[in-house]
Amino acid sequence: MGKMKRKKLRGRVERVLKPLDPREPEKAQINIQEADSLYREVRVENSLTDEDGEKVRLKVGAEVDVVLEADSSATIRKPV
């Protein structure tokens, strides 16, 4: 694998959504301010792992970083 290209976007947890079916995971709705207005909200499973390996969840209002990452072979140079 080649070098990775990366972009970091700031986000905020707007809602925590409990599942209708208890077998389904809880979701965190994250608002990404830098995204186009129709695409600012993403929902992801609300499960992270801390530095000690413990499972944790995001809280409403939490500031988060959303990282886009791609191998160099998946990118092209932006025209000037």
Domain contains 73: no
Tell me, yes or no, whether 56 lies in a domain.
Answer: yes
Residues 2-9, mean pLDDT to the nearest whole number? 88
Question: What's the pTM?
Answer: 0.82
Residue 9 scores a pLDDT above 70: yes
What is the pLDDT at residue 32?
97
Q: Is residue 68 part of a domain?
A: no
**How many C-beta neighbours within 10 Å does residue 40 have?**
14
14-64: per-residue pLDDT in tens?
999 999 999 999 999 999 999 999 999 999 999 999 999 999 999 999 999
Domains in the chain, number:
1
Q: Does 74 map to a domain? A: no
pLDDT at 1: 59
Q: Determine whether 30 is exposed, middle or buried from the number of CB atoms within 10 Å of its CB (0-12, 13-18, 19+).
A: buried
Q: Is residue 44 part of a domain?
A: yes
What is the reported pLDDT for 43?
A: 97
- Asked whether residue 33 is domain-assigned, the answer is yes
53: left (phi over 0), alpha (psi -120 to 50) or beta: left
Within-domain flag for 67: no
Residue for token digits 């992270």?
A: 48
Which domain does 37 fall in, by range? 4-61
